[in-house]
């Protein structure tokens, strides 16, 4: 297939809609009514985003490329191509996509800044990828390697297991996105030709009367649309639509296949798959005019934003299936909020804005971008989060790599594209969506416009826009008024500010305040612009306190500090005793903001007066002491090691978790037949679970062990007389792998030997309550609890108290 250079840019799926193909000009008849200004035309030079993009280009991308090589991703292709002996591959059939995604990220980075060394290495990777492709275009290393013991997910034949686990089409989707990015960055067709050969195979294979199957993990739809935009080959667009239309209703909610896509109106199942699907539906709807798709994703968006969105912009509340939870079920300690889901949420909300031109979608995009997405990568660019919890007692820490590395490689491709979300246009309407210092050249119907943005956002709310048309030009500047600036942290009533009377947003042109109208959340400034015209917007960036809808049980009697688009958290290193779970702050407390250039690469911190609490022995009354409280931006947490953190701050003592009282258990040294110190610490943290499946605090478990004898042990600080054991079992049935044990015994140490206690009450084994065992008093320095795991399941413990 012969192509000449394309004359448009694809930024996460949206484009200028004229292109050169086979030497002739073609125009897409339908497309998004609003088009983004490509990131290559937005030259960011601020102190917030530019350093982060440089870290991604200089640290993260080379790091991930090296990790892909060290962790077998490159060898997968070499072995499939018979350029390396053996058939031992990496862990997951979708691992090939880590290579594709980092190539996409590297391509974007090379568009921003030339890098001949990186360009040469990517060429080498593409040669290896091409060698692993089969003659008919099939490209899936886990089958092509023809392993003696094939991975259990892939099935015996091509596509046999696609709707469940094989990820053959998922791999293809990321290949297509990488191929388009590489072609646009370099003008080379090497990877694009590989992608087109594979896509042509899909066109021949799938469709009504052929293979009538849908992707188990969505994203091929987005990739096919990108290939369509490059080539004008409508078969790719038609296939993307087929994959959506053939989905459901006989599949699983887990991957959004229990209903036809047009019949889905609530977000369900795996959050990344879902948001990629909604993004693909938006793309196909824009290009085909399909109104049923639009009605479905409009309803789903309202469901997510009104009932299932974290204050950080994260989506996917539960680790059980990496999925959306029930309405208003937004736990904090166990929040999943996967980094990939945050990226997908940005993609989806970007599309929704391009369809509807409403700032509410950019409000959600911005919230996700600055908080739940940016938290996924460390300030150093080489440590990462997969889930992004909103509370921790030290069990969460950033990792150098994951066996499932999708979030890591996804960050490499996303960060270079951030400038592509700043501006958009529709004929002679120019939208200013995000605020970061930059210079950009934008082509409207009326002519070429240079716009220069100067701001210290997100730490300051003043934004200067200098407008430089080539000549006096009449057009409309639409400047987004962020929801947070008008007392609406999110569309709907899921979250609200305590103070609902914000200061007004003022706009001046050439130093004179102007009265302005708003439409769909944008200040509408329509005039004949001349070179050097300066628009100044002052956003009232005051520290706000956010409270959640009362139906969000996890956030009752708590608030969140927010300043501008930045969500804050309390973290151990900034607070007394490195402890934050015991802190309360009055809902009406006065707070102060201060920029600290030497902290966490420069952040604004919030300080207030609060109170710390501690339990007392044999008393329900808490010991409370006044203390200073410091909050940092959530995205920057866990850059100083693991420790305590909370986003939602109690304003009622009953919502806090006081420091433990000095009981026999809390002062003991804990050990057991698990190696995790964090899990062992859970036994004596004096947290009373709501039920056996409570994930709001750490717990100990022996999964995946089963049918074995295990133990936990307390070594006391001194000899004590004890006569009671209280144990609360962890049981995550029916879906998880832990159940209450078959039996257990309590032993005490006597003369260096373990002796069973003489119980005076039966060994009760039940879930959702403390199992209390009374026994004849013993004087001892240690107590051991030994349990028998079920034959087919593991077991765990929330809490073990001794009296």
pLDDT in the model for residue 592: 97
* pLDDT (average), residues 497-509: 94
What is the DSSP code string of 458-504? TT--EEEEEEEESS-EEEEEEEE--GGGGT-SSSSSSEEES---PPP
- 125 and 236: one domain? yes
287 and 402 both lie in a single domain? yes
- pLDDT for 343 equals 98
Q: What is the pLDDT of residue 29?
A: 66
Residue 185 and residue 125 in one domain: yes
Mean predicted confidence (pLDDT) in 436-455: 97
Q: Is residue 230 assigned to a domain?
A: yes
**Of 362, 476, 481, whose CA–CA distance to 430 is shortest?**
476
Is 239 in the same domain as 254? no
pLDDT of 3 above 60: no
Residue 285: domain span: 250-415
Note the pLDDT of residue 328. 98
Burial call 61-91: b when 16+ CB within 10 Å, e when fewer: bbbbbebbeebebbbbbbbbbeebeeeebbe
What's the structural domain count of the chain?
5
User: d(Cα 497, Cα 13) in Å, to the nearest integer?
Assistant: 34
> Do both 518 and 548 map to the same domain?
no
Residues 558 and 629 grouped into a single domain: yes
Neighbours of 27 (CB within 10 A): 9
Between CA 26 and CA 18 the distance in angstroms is 6
Asked if pLDDT for residue 727 goes beyond 80, the answer is yes
CA 54 to chain centre: 21
41 occurs within a structural domain: no
Percent of the chain beyond pLDDT 70?
A: 96
CATH number at residue 788: 2.60.120.260
Decide if 76 is inside a domain.
yes
pLDDT higher than 50, residue 511: yes
Q: What share of the chain is helix, strand, coil (3-state, %, to 5)?
A: 30, 30, 40
Claim to verify: residue 647 and residue 758 sit in the same structural domain: no
- Tens of pLDDT, residue by residue over 268-301, are 999 999 999 999 999 999 999 999 999 999 999 9
Residue 385 belongs to a domain: yes
Is 47 a member of any domain? no
**pLDDT, tens digit, 9 for 90 and up, residues 639-650:** 999 999 999 999
Query: Are 241 and 207 found together in one domain?
Result: yes
Same-domain check for residues 718 and 626: no
pLDDT, tens digit, 9 for 90 and up, residues 100-158 = 999 999 999 999 999 999 999 999 999 999 999 999 999 999 999 999 999 999 999 99
Looking at the fold, whether 267 and 355 belong to one and the same domain comes out as yes
Q: How many helices (H) and strands (E) does the chain have?
A: 16, 35
Q: What is the pLDDT of residues 603-662, one digit of tens each?
A: 999 999 999 999 888 787 889 999 999 999 999 999 999 999 999 999 998 899 999 899
**One domain, residues 241 and 256:** no
Cβ contact 272:235 at 8 Å: no
CATH number at residue 529: 2.60.420.10
Alpha helices in 521-563 (DSSP H): none
Residues 661-705 pLDDT 10s:
999 999 999 999 998 888 998 999 998 899 999 988 889 999 999
- pLDDT per residue as tens digits for the range 182-208: 999 999 999 999 999 999 999 999 999
Query: Are residues 109 and 233 located together in one domain of the fold?
Result: yes
Residue 8 has pLDDT above 50, yes or no: no
Distances (CA, A) of 410 to 96, 223, 276, 385, 416: 13, 15, 13, 12, 11
Q: Which two tokens stand for residue 780?
A: 């001892």
Last residue of a domain, one of 371, 396, 415: 415
- The answer as to whether 755 is a domain residue is yes
pLDDT value of residue 28:
55
> Which pLDDT tens digit goes with each residue over 222-247?
999 999 999 999 999 999 999 999 99
Average pLDDT in the chain: 94
Both tokens of residue 688? Answer: 């009373």
Last residue of a domain, one of 229, 246, 263: 246
- Cβ pair 800, 689 in contact under 8 A: no
pLDDT at position 30, please?
86
- Is 30 within the bounds of a domain? no
Q: What is the distance between the alpha carbons of residues 704 and 700, in angstroms, rounded to a whole number?
A: 12
Strand partners, 669: 715
In a domain, 11, yes or no: no
Which of 204, 229, 246 marks a domain boundary? 246
């Amino acid at each position: 297939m012969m192509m000449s250079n394309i004359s448009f840019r694809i930024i996460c799926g949206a484009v200028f809609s004229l292109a050169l193909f086979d030497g002739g000009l073609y125009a897409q008849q339908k497309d998004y009514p609003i088009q983004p200004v490509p990131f290559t035309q937005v030259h960011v030079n601020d102190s917030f985003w530019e350093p982060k993009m440089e870290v991604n280009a200089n640290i993260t991308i080379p790091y991930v490329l090296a990790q892909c090589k060290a962790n077998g991703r490159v060898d997968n292709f070499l072995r499939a191509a018979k350029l390396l002996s053996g058939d031992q591959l990496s862990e997951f059939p979708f691992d090939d996509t880590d290579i594709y995604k980092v190539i996409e990220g590297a391509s974007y980075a090379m568009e921003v800044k030339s890098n001949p060394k990186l360009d040469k290495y990517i060429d080498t990777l593409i040669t290896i990828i091409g060698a692993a492709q089969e003659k008919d275009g099939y490209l899936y290393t886990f089958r092509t390697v023809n392993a003696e013991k094939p991975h259990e997910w892939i099935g015996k034949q091509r596509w046999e297991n696609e709707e469940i686990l094989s990820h053959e089409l998922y791999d293809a989707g990321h290949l297509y996105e990488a191929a388009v990015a590489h072609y646009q960055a370099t003008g080379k067709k090497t990877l694009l030709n590989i992608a087109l050969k594979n896509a042509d195979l899909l066109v021949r294979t799938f469709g009504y009367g052929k293979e009538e199957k849908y992707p188990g993990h969505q994203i091929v739809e987005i990739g096919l649309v990108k290939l369509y935009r490059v080539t004008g080959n409508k078969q790719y667009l038609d296939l993307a639509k087929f994959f959506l239309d053939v989905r459901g209703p006989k599949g699983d909610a887990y991957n959004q296949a229990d209903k036809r896509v047009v019949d889905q109106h609530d977000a369900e199942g795996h959050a990344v798959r879902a948001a990629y699907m909604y993004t693909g539906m938006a793309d196909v709807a824009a290009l085909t005019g399909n109104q049923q798709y639009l009605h479905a994703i409009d309803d789903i968006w309202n469901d997510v934003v009104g009932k299932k969105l974290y204050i950080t912009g994260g989506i996917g509340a539960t680790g059980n299936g990496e999925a959306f939870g029930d309405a208003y079920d937004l736990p904090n300690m166990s929040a999943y909020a996967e980094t990939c889901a945050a990226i997908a949420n940005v993609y989806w909300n970007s599309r929704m804005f391009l369809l509807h031109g409403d700032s509410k979608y950019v409000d959600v995009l911005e919230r996700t971008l600055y908080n739940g997405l940016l938290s996924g990568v460390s300030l150093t660019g080489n440590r990462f989060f997969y889930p992004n919890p909103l509370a921790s007692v030290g069990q969460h820490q950033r990792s150098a790599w994951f066996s499932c590395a999708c979030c890591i490689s996804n960050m490499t491709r996303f960060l270079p594209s951030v400038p592509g979300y700043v501006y958009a246009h529709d004929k002679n309407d120019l939208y200013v969506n995000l605020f970061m210092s930059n210079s950009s050249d934008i082509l409207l119907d009326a002519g070429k416009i240079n716009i220069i943005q100067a701001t210290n956002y997100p730490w300051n709310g003043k934004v200067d826009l200098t407008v430089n048309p080539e000549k006096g030009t009449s057009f409309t500047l639409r400047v987004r008024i962020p929801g947070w600036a008008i007392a609406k942290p999110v569309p709907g009533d899921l979250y609200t500010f305590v103070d609902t009377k914000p200061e007004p947003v003022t706009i001046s042109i050439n130093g004179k305040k102007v009265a302005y109208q708003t439409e769909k959340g944008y200040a509408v400034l329509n005039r004949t612009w001349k070179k050097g015209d300066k628009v100044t917007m002052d956003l009232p960036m005051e520290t706000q306190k956010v409270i959640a809808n009362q139906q969000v049980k996890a956030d009752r009697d708590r608030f969140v500090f927010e300043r501008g688009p930045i969500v804050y958290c309390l973290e151990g290193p900034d607070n007394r005793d490195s402890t934050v779970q015991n802190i309360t702050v009055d809902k009406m407390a006065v707070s102060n903001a201060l920029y600290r250039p030497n902290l966490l690469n420069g952040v604004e911190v919030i300080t207030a007066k609060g109170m710390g609490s501690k339990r007392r022995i044999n008393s329900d009354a808490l010991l409370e002491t006044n203390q200073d409280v410091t909050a940092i931006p959530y995205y920057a947490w866990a850059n100083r090691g693991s420790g305590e953190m909370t986003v939602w701050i109690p304003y009622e003592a009953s919502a806090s978790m006081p420091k433990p009282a000095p009981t026999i258990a809390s002062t003991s040294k804990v050990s057991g037949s698990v190696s995790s110190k964090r899990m062992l610490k859970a036994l004596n943290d004096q947290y009373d679970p709501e039920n056996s499946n409570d994930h709001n605090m750490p717990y100990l478990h022996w999964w995946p062990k089963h049918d074995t004898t295990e133990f936990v042990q307390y070594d006391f600080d001194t000899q004590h007389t004890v006569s009671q054991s209280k144990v609360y079992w962890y049981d995550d049935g029916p879906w998880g792998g832990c159940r209450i044990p078959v039996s257990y015994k309590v032993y005490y140490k006597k003369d260096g030997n373990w002796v069973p206690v003489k119980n005076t009450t039966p060994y009760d084994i039940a879930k959702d309550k403390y199992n209390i065992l009374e026994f004849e008093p013993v004087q001892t320095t240690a107590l051991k609890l030994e349990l028998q795991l079920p034959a087919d399941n593991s077991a765990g413990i929330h809490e073990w108290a001794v009296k």
